[in-house]
Amino acid sequence: MEENNKFSNLELEEYKDEIDYIIKNTSYDGKFNITWEKMNQYIQYKLSKIVDSFEEEININKTEDNPDKNDSYSRFLITIDLEDIFSSLKKLKHTPFTIQRICEMLIDPMKYYKSRNKFLFAFIKLVDI
């Protein structure tokens, strides 16, 4: 762990099960028993993993007959969206009142949103308060 109490993604990978457990429990009642700073890091880590899984899905669904012509632009937009989300999360000094919904979306990202763009747009609304 770094001196300023922040974890790298590699370090967080070791705590993946704990992170999933905390986020899942928070999705039930909006309560958690760790600091907001640590929860914020967990949210950013989990969101990064979800976006990575979107990328994997895009690559799997590509065929030679149907290449995604806007793939580079689409990836660029996702990067911008992620930067906006992370920036908004970093600005939050206290737990947002939307924490329960944030965690619900992190547990099952495709339950309500069938595309990554819609998911990210909805997520931005939850953290940009």
Q: What letters, b where the CB count within 10 A reaches 16 and e where it falls short, cover 49-75? A: bbbeebeeeeeeeeeeeeeeeeeeebe
Q: Which residue has the higher pLDDT, 101 or 70?
A: 101
Specify the 3-state DSSP secondary structure of 37. Answer: helix
- pLDDT score for 100: 96
Q: Which residue has the higher pLDDT, 53 or 96?
A: 96
- pLDDT score for 117: 81
Structural domain boundaries of the chain? 9-127
* pTM for this model (two decimals): 0.78
N-terminal to C-terminal alpha carbon distance within the chain: 30
Residues 8-35 have pLDDT tens digits of 766 788 888 999 999 999 999 999 999 9
